[in-house]
Amino acid sequence: MVIGVGQTVLRILGYLFLLILVAMAGAAGTAYWAKMEFEGSGPLAQETMFVVPKGASLTQIAEQLEKDGLISNAYVFRAGAYYLRKQGGLKAGEYTVPAGASMQDILVIFESGKAITYKLTVPEGLTTAMIIELVRKHEALSGDVTVLPTEGQLLPETYVFSRGMARNELLRRMALDHNRVLNELWEKRAPDLPIKTKYEAVILASIVEKETGVPRERPHVAGVFVNRLRKGMRLESDPTIIYGITQGYPLGRGIRQSELQAATPYNTYAIAGLPPTPIANPGRESLAAVLNPMATEDIFFVADGTGGHAFASTLEEHEKNVARWRQIEKQRAAGGG
């Protein structure tokens, strides 16, 4: 009886040992298979784009990768990420995934943060409403615009961002850049300017921005307006009148005499000093021109027919320049160039 019991125990132990060996072999086989799946070429037949949404979990990313045919097994992708301790390092954005990329390759791509970037160029002189329109139309941005910046608060520039960036966040960047540039230039402003606040500088810079599209003229135009402010003269700027009528959109016709005489807040032919707000979003160069204008005696300017302006320090000289411009207008109207 004792011998029989001993043999039974040995047989049971043998079976258990065999089961353990089989389990170990199975686990080793599974681990080997998972390793090959994780490191081997993936099922993707051609290069494609994949978006890692902001705030997405590893599980959500893995399941979407499998659904889109970029990987063969979401569980293996997650297990590999945990094994390599990269489960929390995947960065939101839109990525290029090459054909045949392994799960490990994809993990490295997402961890790198080297997402596809997009650009939005905001030209100088647009109103805030126009800039918001550009932001709303860009398909790579997300969310609606719920924060409306005030006129003149945004910096015209080329902005680079990844897919999914919130529209409000991009507008916030534009406002922060505007404040940064304005603060830098304000610290280096010329002494004794007739501009007492940063906001006044933005207002005048927006007028300079709309008066000339010739970069080299900006300091000269700014110098004329600074001289007029110092002398107590009205600015007499056509773009301010147009802003009061259209909120910055093209007028599509000439300014009427009645509009030149109307006592509105933006009619700088009728009011003294600056209008109540900027009339556009000025760029860095116009802000710099206003805060460090050209030293000049000129107090007048008019279009010269070449895209630039003729400047004058006396009314007599200015009237001659105006007469030349009127002649150019007549020739163009008659088809003479």
Calculate what percentage of the chain has a pLDDT beyond 90.
64
Is the separation of the CB atoms in 114 and 100 below 8 Å? Answer: no
How far apart are alpha carbons 180 and 68 in whole angstroms?
43
Q: Which of 177, 80, 82 is nearest to 120 (CA)?
A: 177
| pLDDT higher at 277 or 83 | 277
- What angle separates helix 103-112 from helix 2-39, to the nearest 10 degrees? 60
**Residue whose structure tokens are 């107090």:** 299
Domain boundary among 63, 82, 115: 115
Q: Which of 105, 108, 104, 149 is nearest to 126 (CA)?
A: 149
Residues 64 and 141 in one domain: no
User: If pLDDT is split at 50, 70 and 90, which confidence band does 33 have?
Assistant: low
Q: Domain containing 53 — which CATH number? A: 3.30.1490.480
Burial 16-32 (b: 16+ CB within 10 A, else e): eeeeeeeeeeeeeeeee
Residues 202 and 327 in one domain: yes
H/E segment holding residue 95: strand 93-97
* Cα 241 → chain centroid: 29
Q: Which residues contact 88 (CB under 8 A, 6 or more apart)?
A: 58
User: If pLDDT is split at 50, 70 and 90, which confidence band does 1 have?
Assistant: very low
How far apart are alpha carbons 171 and 301 in whole angstroms?
35
- Total count of residues recorded for the chain: 337
Say how many domains are in the chain.
3
pLDDT score of 227 more than 90:
yes
- pLDDT given for residue 30 in this prediction: 59
Is the separation of the CB atoms in 295 and 219 below 8 Å? Answer: no
User: If pLDDT is split at 50, 70 and 90, which confidence band does 224 have?
Assistant: very high
Residues 288 and 320 in one domain: yes
Residues 161 and 146 in one domain: yes
Residues 106 and 56 in one domain: yes
Residues 239 and 298 in one domain: yes
User: Within a domain: residue 318?
Assistant: yes
Is the separation of the CB atoms in 309 and 155 below 8 Å? Answer: no
Q: Where are the alpha helices (DSSP H) in 138-261?
A: 167-187, 198-211, 218-231, 238-246, 257-261
| pLDDT higher at 213 or 278 | 278
Number of Cβ within a 10 Å radius of residue 282: 32
Mean pLDDT lowest among 12-26, 131-145, 219-233 = 12-26
User: Within a domain: residue 52?
Assistant: yes
Residues 207 and 321 in one domain: yes
Number of Cβ within a 10 Å radius of residue 245: 16
Range of the domain at 139: 117-179
Is the separation of the CB atoms in 156 and 281 below 8 Å? Answer: yes
Domain boundary among 150, 179, 208: 179
Residues 149 and 102 in one domain: no
Number of Cβ within a 10 Å radius of residue 333: 8
